[in-house]
């Protein structure tokens, strides 16, 4: 059972959640509980790090930012003990949750289950584990990237061969789009791993992308449900194989990502190897490039455009300036538009249906929204647009694809 930040935001909520855990213990289950930091805590910690040291040492970032989960884990264990449920807290290194050394974006490599199993054998009923954190091969604390407690939860479910993995959050399941942006968004009873993976990676933060990947690979029975309502055994949304879903719409959902930037390198030489040089420099600088467009070339020069998270623009600019100074690439200008957003439609139905892209573009054009960059894959279409039209685009697409109606 995983509880996100809003579900453990106050001592009262921790008590409510502890009761919910007690219900599972009463059924006879041993429970591993993964907790997030109390709502807002991680943002506060990240802010403190940025204020102290803008070009921070990522190992110390992790030392600070991982601490929010420790507080919740201890408080949850205490609350359970107060209810006479045998429980204790575990920090990542105590389990241990072994990760790579990629600080602030580490990947879980292994979770040896022996320590926790031994405690269950001695009568412990609930292991409360601090989510989002692990330990690197060098013995330093790592974190798994924002939203990483979801991944902790799925990784534990896999490592312990759990009967199921329930992600408790502040909405009662996965919706056709973020219900905070489109009031007509519809809760899905089931969604396929593939679609959930795309929605998550395109910005639907209800599950961290990596958690969906792991659930798919290890066949974890993954469910998203609300921690604020009484829950029946089939509540929420089940994330499952597409074969388990009988009827589905061509488009399953709309995702969006607000914090995007569009960068253009003006007038670079159009010759073999140029893209490799540019994107190697960006990748070495840790810039996560998403969309790429190479414009048509004129007199042997061309413009190269890409999108990346808005908070990586400074890093990208630095990398390009250094590459220019070092004589690696030559260009006349570097433009950064930090007011764009990405909106995507996702659905496995697109494999067999044509016309989804045309319809999407038509809908946006009817709203007077200019499309700046387009990318597609087998089951999604993404566009980059002016950020101020993001909500409008999501709502218009949700309407046009009739996502408020079940198939
Ligand atoms: P937690 O703190 O429990 O991990 P998050 O804030 O990370 O919760 O994720 C839940 C939020 O995800 C919801 O409050 C909702 O605003 C947002 N969200 C975005 N897309 C969707 C979607 N398709 N379905 C449900 N929630 C979504
Ligand atoms: N507390 C971390 C975050 O806010 C991890 C999580 O909640 O999943 O990103
Ligand atoms: Mg989350």
Instruction: Report the pLDDT value the prediction gives residue 246, as an integer from 0 to 100.
Output: 83
Site to probe by mutation for ligand 1, drawn from 166, 205, 238 as the one with most ligand atoms within 8 Å of Cβ, is: 205
Closest residue (by CA) to atom 27 of ligand 1?
178
176 CA: nearest ligand 1 atom: 23
How much of the chain, in percent, has pLDDT values that exceed 70? 100
227 CA: nearest ligand 1 atom: 3
Render pLDDT for 205-260 as a digit per residue (tens, 0 to 9): 999 999 999 999 999 999 999 998 776 767 899 999 999 988 888 999 999 999 99
Site to probe by mutation for ligand 1, drawn from 10, 178, 344, 391 as the one with most ligand atoms within 8 Å of Cβ, is: 178
Q: Please give the mean pLDDT across all residues of the chain.
A: 96
Instruction: Report the pLDDT value the prediction gives residue 248, as an integer from 0 to 100.
Output: 82
Checking if the pLDDT of 406 tops 90, the result is no
Render pLDDT for 245-300 as a digit per residue (tens, 0 to 9): 888 889 999 999 999 999 999 999 998 999 999 999 999 998 999 999 998 888 99
Strands (E), 274-323: 292-294, 301-309
Render pLDDT for 87-132 as a digit per residue (tens, 0 to 9): 999 999 999 999 999 999 999 999 999 999 999 999 999 999 999 9
Asked whether the beta carbons of 13 and 161 are under 8 A apart, the reply is no
169 CA: nearest ligand 1 atom: 3
150 CA: nearest ligand 2 atom: 8
Residue 54: both structure tokens together: 């803008």
Distance (Å, whole) CA 143 – CA 132: 5
Distance (Å, whole) CA 170 – CA 187: 13
Q: Confidence band (pLDDT; 50, 70, 90) for 170? A: very high
- Say yes or no: CB of residue 37 within 6 Å of ligand 1: no
Render pLDDT for 312-371 as a digit per residue (tens, 0 to 9): 999 999 999 999 999 999 999 999 999 999 999 999 999 999 999 999 999 999 999 999
Residue 260: both structure tokens together: 């995007």
- Say yes or no: CB of residue 180 within 6 Å of ligand 1: yes
Q: Confidence band (pLDDT; 50, 70, 90) for 37? A: very high
């Amino acid at each position: 059972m995983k509880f996100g930040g809003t579900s453990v935001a106050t001592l009262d909520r921790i008590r409510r959640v502890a009761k919910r855990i007690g219900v599972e213990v009463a059924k006879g289950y041993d429970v591993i509980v993964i907790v997030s930091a109390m709502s807002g805590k991680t943002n506060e910690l990240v802010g403190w790090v940025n204020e102290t040291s803008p070009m921070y040492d990522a190992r110390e970032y992790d030392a600070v930012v991982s601490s929010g989960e420790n507080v919740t884990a201890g408080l949850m264990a205490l609350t359970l003990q107060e209810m006479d449920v045998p429980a204790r807290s575990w920090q990542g290194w105590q389990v241990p949750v072994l990760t790579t050394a990629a600080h602030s974006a580490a990947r879980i490599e292994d979770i040896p289950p022996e320590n926790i199993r031994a405690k269950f054998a001695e009568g412990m009923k609930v292991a409360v584990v601090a989510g989002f954190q692990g330990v690197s091969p060098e013995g330093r604390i790592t974190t798994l990237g924002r939203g990483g407690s979801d991944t902790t939860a799925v990784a534990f479910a896999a490592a312990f061969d759990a009967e199921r993995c329930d992600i408790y959050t502040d909405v009662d399941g996965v919706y056709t789009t973020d219900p905070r942006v489109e009031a007509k968004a519809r809760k899905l009873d089931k969604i396929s791993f593939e679609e959930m993976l795309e929605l998550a990676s395109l910005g639907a933060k209800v599950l961290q992308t990596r958690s969906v990947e792991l659930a798919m690979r290890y066949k974890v029975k993954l469910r998203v449900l609300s921690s604020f309502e009484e829950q029946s055994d089939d509540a929420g949304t089940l994330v499952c194989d597409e074969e388990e879903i009988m009827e589905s719409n061509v488009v399953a959902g709309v995702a969006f990502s607000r914090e995007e930037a569009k960068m253009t390198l003006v007038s670079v030489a159009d010759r073999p190897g140029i893209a490799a040089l540019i994107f190697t420099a960006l990748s070495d600088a840790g810039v996560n490039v998403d969309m790429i467009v190479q414009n048509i070339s004129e007199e042997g020069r061309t413009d190269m455009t890409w999108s990346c998270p808005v908070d990586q623009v400074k890093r990208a600019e630095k990398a390009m300036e250094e590459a220019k100074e070092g004589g690696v690439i030559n260009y006349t200008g570097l433009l950064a538009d930090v007011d764009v957003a990405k909106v995507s439609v996702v659905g496995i139905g697109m494999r067999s249906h044509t016309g989804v892209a045309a319809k999407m573009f038509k809908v946006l054009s009817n709203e007077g929204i200019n499309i700046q960059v387009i990318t597609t894959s087998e089951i999604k279409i993404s566009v980059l647009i002016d950020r101020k039209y993001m909500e409008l685009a999501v709502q218009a697409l949700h309407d046009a694809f009739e996502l408020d109606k079940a198939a």
